[in-house]
Structure 1
Amino acid sequence: MKRKITVGSRDSALALWQTRWVVEQLEKQNPEVTFEIITMKTKGDKMLDVALAKIGDKGLFTKELEVAMQRREIDFAVHSLKDLPTVLPEGLTIGAVCKRDNPGDALISKDGRKLEELPRGARIGTSSLRRCAQLLNYRPDFQLESLRGNLNTRMKKLVSERLDAIILAAAGITRMGWEDMIAEIIPFDICLPAVGQGAIAVECREDDQDIVELLKGVEHPATRAATNAERALLRRLEGGCQIPIGAFGEVVKEKLTLTAIVATLDGSQVIRAQGEAAVDQAIQLGIEVAEKLLDMGGKKILQQVRSGE
C-alpha cells in the first residue's frame, strides 16, 4: 500500500499551479508515495478590500497553512517564497526552495505600451508599496492605484477600472500561461523585485525527517543561496509589506551578488547598495548589504516610514 502525504495550498489558481508542480516533481522521484492536496483560504485571501500595507504582513498568506502543519493535519505546504515571513513559527522550516522563475515585475498595459511609453499621469494598478515607490522615483507623474485580488481578478480590473496598466510578478503570469500579455519586464535599474519573488518554497516541520529528506528532491541550491541573502537583508531591515524594500540575489560563476534598495513611500528617495560574496556566505552578505543601506540613509527612511511621517 502506498504511503500518503498530505500537502497544503492556498486555493487560488496560481497557488494550486505551484503546488501541483511541486507534487508532480516529487511523484516522479517517489512512485511509492501518493500525494493529496488540501486547499484553504488565508487571511490575505479573505481581506481583499484593504491594502496589504494596512493589514500587516506577518503570515498574511501562510498562517492558516502553518497552523495546519503544527496540528499535523498536513505534512508540508507550498508557498510563493515572497509570502513567507523571514522568521518562521517555532518548529517549522523551509524544506526546499525550488528553482526560481523570472524574478522581475511584469507590466501589462491596455495597448501593449512599455513603461516609458505610458501617457503622462497614467493610472497604474499595483498592491505593492515597493513598486509604487520605485515607479514614482522613475516617473513622478504616474497615478498609482491599489490593486488586490487573485491574478484573474487583477487582470479584469485593468479593463473594469479603466487603468492604463497593471504590474504583477512575471513568474505568476508565466506559470498561468499568459506571457503574451506582458508588455515589458521592468528593468531592475527601475524596479527591483520583492525578496524571494519568482521562487517557490516548501515549508514543513523540522522534526519530520522523512519529509525533510523527501523535499531535497526539489531543492535548488543557487536559488536557496540567492534568496537566503535577500531574506537575511529583509530580516536585518525588519521590513515587510509596509516598507518599500527591493532586493535581488544571483549566483554567477560561483559568486553571489546582492543588489537592494530602500525607498521613501513617495519615491523621492531611493537608496541602492550592492555586495558580493562566496555562495556559502549568503546570510552574511544579506546583513552586510542591509548595513550599507542603513548607513547610506536607509535608517532615517525606515524610521520615517514606520512613524508615518
Structure 2
Amino acid sequence: MQSPQTFARIGTRGSPLALAQARLVRRLLAQAHGVSEDDIAIEVISTGGDRSQAGNVSLSDIGGKGLFTKEIDEAMLSGRVDIGVHSSKDVATGLPDGLALVAFLEREDVRDAFISVKAASLDQLPERGRFGTSSIRRAAQVLRQRPDLEIVPFRGNVGTRLQKLLDDVADGTMLAAAGLNRLGEGHRATALLDPEIFLPAPAQGAIGLAVRGDDARMAGLVAALDHAPTHTTITAERAMLAVLDGSCRTPVGALSRLEAGGLTLKGQILSLDGQTAFESQASGSDPLAVGRKVGEDLIAQAGTEWLAQWARS
C-alpha cells in the first residue's frame, strides 16, 4: 500500500468547516484515482486569519483574504503539502508565484443565511438592534436595508458564532449557507436571503484546489475533481474582483448564472454604510472578459474620487 506521502498531501485550516472540506476532497480524490483514503494525508496548518479570530476585528483591517491562505501557500511552495484546499472566497486574486488555483468542486448554495434566535427575518429585528458580522460586505448590505441597526464585531467559526447569538452578543447574523450545509447545520438558517438583493461574496460556496505550478502530476490528479460550470462562474467573479482590487477596498458582491444563452454576471460595490451602491451586469461566453467588463463598468460608474474616499475609510 502506498504511504500518504507518495500519493498526495492536503493542507488545510483546522476549523470544523475547513476539515470537512478537506475530507471531502480526500474522499473524492480517492474515488477518482482508485486509492484508499488512508493514502492521502491531511495536514492542519494554522493561518494568520485563524489566529486573529480572538481579536474579533474585520479582516479588511488586518490584511484581507490572504490571512487564511498564506501559511498553506508557504507549505505548498516548500513541498510540505501538495494541495491547498480553500474556501474560494478567501483566496486572494493574485496567488504567490509558483502556485496555481486549478480546480473547483461543484458549487454549493451561494446564498447567505440569516440566523437569529429572536427574529424570523432581517426585517423583524428590533429597531436599533445589533447585527453581528465582521464582513464589510454583509455589514453594508444589511445597513442598506436596515440603516438603524448597530453592527457589532462577530468572528469565529460557525459553532462560535452560533453560540454568540445564544449568549446575546448580537440579535442576528449572517453565515454562508454553503458552510452550514457542509457541516450538516443547514437547519440553523432562520431564513435564506435573496441573492439578487444580498449579492454573495465573489466565489462564495465553492471549494478551490491549489497546487504548485510546476507539479504537473498533482495538477492532473486534481483536475479530475474540477466541475466545469463552477470553474466558469468562479473565473468570471475572480476576474471582476481582480479589476476592483487594484482600485478600492469597498464591499463587493457578485452573482453569476450559467444558462442556455451563456454566462451572466452581476456585480455590486457599496459604501461602507450601505447608502451608496453601484451595480453592473454583463453576459458572454468568455468568463474572463465578462468579469473584467463588470469590474471596469463598476469603476467607471463610481468614479475614482468616490473609490478613493471609501478606500481611505
Is TM more than 0.5 here? yes
Amino acid at match of 1:305: W
- Equivalent position of 1:55 in the other structure: 62
Unaligned 5+ residue runs, structure 2?
A: none
Tell me the number of residue pairs that the alignment of Structure 1 and Structure 2 aligns. 306
TM-score using structure 2 length: 0.94
Amino acid at match of 1:122: G
Q: Against the structure 1 CA distance between its residues 300 and 184, is the aligned structure 2 distance closer, same or farther, given a 3 Å change threshold?
A: farther
Aligned residue among 278, 298, 313 for 1:293: 298
Q: How well do the aligned residues superpose, as a CA RMSD in angstroms?
A: 1.6
Looking at structure 2, the residues matched to 21 and 32 of structure 1 have their Cα atoms a distance apart, in angstroms, of 15
Amino acid at match of 1:144: I
Unaligned 5+ residue runs, structure 1?
A: none
5 Å-filtered alignment, 1:212-227, equals 212-227=219-234
Q: Against the structure 1 CA distance between its residues 103 and 87, is the aligned structure 2 distance closer, same or farther, given a 3 Å change threshold?
A: same
5 Å-filtered alignment, 1:58-77, equals 59-77=66-84
Looking at structure 1, the residues matched to 269 and 303 of structure 2 have their Cα atoms a distance apart, in angstroms, of 6
Between the two proteins, what is the percent identity of the paired residues? Answer: 38
- Equivalent position of 2:308 in the other structure: 303
Q: Is 1:11 matched with 2:14?
A: yes
- Equivalent position of 2:100 in the other structure: 93
Aligned residue among 202, 206, 218 for 2:209: 202
Q: Against the structure 1 CA distance between its residues 58 and 130, is the aligned structure 2 distance closer, same or farther, given a 3 Å change threshold?
A: closer
Aligned with 2:239: secondary structure?
Answer: helix
Looking at structure 2, the residues matched to 224 and 239 of structure 1 have their Cα atoms a distance apart, in angstroms, of 23
1:95 deviation in Å? 2.1
Amino acid at match of 1:15: A
Looking at structure 2, the residues matched to 208 and 107 of structure 1 have their Cα atoms a distance apart, in angstroms, of 41
Q: Against the structure 1 CA distance between its residues 11 and 252, is the aligned structure 2 distance closer, same or farther, given a 3 Å change threshold?
A: same
1:184 deviation in Å? 1.1
Aligned residue among 68, 89, 93 for 1:82: 89
Aligned residue among 138, 147, 157 for 2:145: 138
TM-score using structure 1 length: 0.95
5 Å-filtered alignment, 1:1-309, equals 1-2=1-2, 3-32=6-35, 34-48=39-53, 49=55, 50-57=57-64, 59-111=66-118, 113-238=120-245, 242-278=249-285, 281-297=286-302, 299-308=304-313
1:230 deviation in Å? 0.6
1:241 deviation in Å? 10
